[in-house]
Amino acid sequence: MGFARTCSVTLVGVEGVVVEVQADLEPGVAAFTLVGLPDKSLTESRDRVRAAVVNSGGEWPQKKLTVGLSPASVPKGGSGFDIAVACAVLGASERIDPRVLSDIVMIGELGLDGRVRPVRGILPAVLAAADAGFEQVVVPECAAAEAALVPGVSVLGVRSLRQLVAVLTDEPVPDEEPQEPDRPDPLMAGLRDLGGGAATGTRGGPGGYDQGHDLADVVGQHTARTAVEVAAAGGHHLFLEGPPGAGKTMLAERMPSVLPPLDREASLEVTAVHSVAGLLPPGRPLIDTAPYCAPHHSATMQALVGGGPGTARPGAVSLSHRGVLFLDETPEFSSKALDALRQPLEAGHVVIARSAGVVRFPARFLMVLAANPCPCGRFSRTDDRCECPPSAIRRYQARLSGPLLDRVDLRVEVDAVTRRELSAVGARGETTTVVADRVRSARERAAARFHGTPWRLNSEIPGRELRSRWQAAPGAMDEAERSLERGVLTARGIDRVLRVAWTVADLSGHDRPDAGDVALALQLRTGVPRGVPMAIGAGV
């Protein structure tokens, strides 16, 4: 009787669970039994592993073979167990010393010819192995850079099962055919999600800024530009309402460029989510710029918050974690999908319960909503070209529920661009670099203020802590409190006004919000003019 064991990792959401892969050989009729709650793709590994071992020059044991995946109560899926199963079988048949395998975590899929293919979720899997105390991992060669992001773990990248067996048995490592640089790597085929294009990916240029989307390209829109700067500095959600062609989409697309580069912790969080989704950019194992996700208005609730058949997959709110979620034509989204955003907006994560288990995805994002004022898009206070009846306008605007809008800190009306603004020469606004520097300085002030607390941004501070520890200047909140008494603001709304006021104070260099900072915050939330200039810093 032969026995060997090694380890692999199964993913539950973006969290990994270390699984012990055990192989047992007994005399009897040749058979291969796989136990431990495997799914369909894992069950099929029996045929993949057998073919890979034989085509790699190994001998398949002609005995009764049982492979167990422990803990047996945890559902397991995916093809990432292949090389662990193959090595456990070879260890049980004494082709590999079983003692060498017991302290190694192996992640990767096997082709029928023995090549090792990458799988999704390498980074969270290696993080789980490191948390469990393992110091050695084996991954596909093309995913070694992603696995190496985890400190304290020795990573071995292999291209074939032959190479791995040679390393584990101290034999000469065979050379594999090098990949031609001008041809796509067949090992990467099928790893990315279908349709995972620019709407769900990341973009960034040198220094973390996207050079193709500059704020200086936006004509006019001084109030909206100020709102974008405040939203980026404090992590506040933003609602842009205006006619078609006013620049709402342009402003949203430039929001990621204004956000500062991600720190190490946030980069690992974002990379883990995109690795599970199969959306890591080629050649960039670590995402260090804010992601941008803009789903179409026909997206379902599962596409937005995550889920789907079988194992739950991350949705748009998780793909935009630590970045920007842009919902263009927001009233055209289904009300069910929009209301599903209310919980992640408050909690910063999504919990999806299914019969197979419960998964948790991070979802702390900056939401930007854009909408027309009416079905035809021409309704405004200063223009009478709208032909929509009042009932149609009310129905259209009512598609956005009050509880959802109450969670949006900044609400700005974007006016149509005039001919004079379009034809003006030399009237460009501030560039992305200038605004991003001011945003970064404001975030540094907030980080110094919140040192020693679990919070980073003004938008994350609980209302109780905000009112007790970080109060505005005496008398600064009088107008906001009167708005609460008149029913213009809710209790949540007045807390959000104070959060925005702190962000305005950070941008302006004030020690704490004064009456002018609170008035600007009120104007940005309610849209009612308060007689304060809509410019911060150098202005526009």
- Give me the residue label for tokens 């630590």: 322
Token pair in block for residue 459 = 């938008």
Q: Which of 274, 288, 242, 464 is nearest to 362 (CA)?
A: 274
**206 confidence band (pLDDT: 50, 70, 90):** very low
Cβ(136)–Cβ(39) under 8 Å? no
Cβ burial 309-348 (10 Å sphere, 16+ → b, else e): eebbbbbbbbbbbbbbbbbbbbbebeeebbebbeebbeee
At residue 183, the pLDDT reads 53
pLDDT in tens, 125-162: 999 999 999 999 999 999 999 999 999 999 999 999 99
At residue 208, the pLDDT reads 45
With 0-12 CB in 10 A as exposed, 13-18 as middle and 19+ as buried, what is 511? exposed
Residue-by-residue DSSP string for 449-466: HTTTSS--SGGGS-HHHH
Indicate left, alpha or beta for 529 from its phi (over 0: left) and psi (-120 to 50: alpha).
Answer: beta
| 352: amino acid identity, one letter | I
pLDDT at 466 over 80: yes
At residue 423, the pLDDT reads 74
**425 confidence band (pLDDT: 50, 70, 90):** low
Q: Which of 529, 434, 496 is nearest to 238 (CA)?
A: 496
Q: Which of 233, 227, 405 is nearest to 331 (CA)?
A: 405
> Which of residues 439 and 278 earns the better pLDDT score?
439
pLDDT at 537 over 70: no
At residue 421, the pLDDT reads 75
| 454: amino acid identity, one letter | P
At residue 17, the pLDDT reads 93
**295 confidence band (pLDDT: 50, 70, 90):** very high
At residue 82, the pLDDT reads 96
Token pair in block for residue 197 = 């294009």
Q: Give strand pairing partners of 362.
A: 349
At residue 426, the pLDDT reads 61
pLDDT at 419 over 80: no
pLDDT at 71 over 70: yes
- Whole-number mean pLDDT of the chain? 87
* pTM metric for this prediction: 0.88
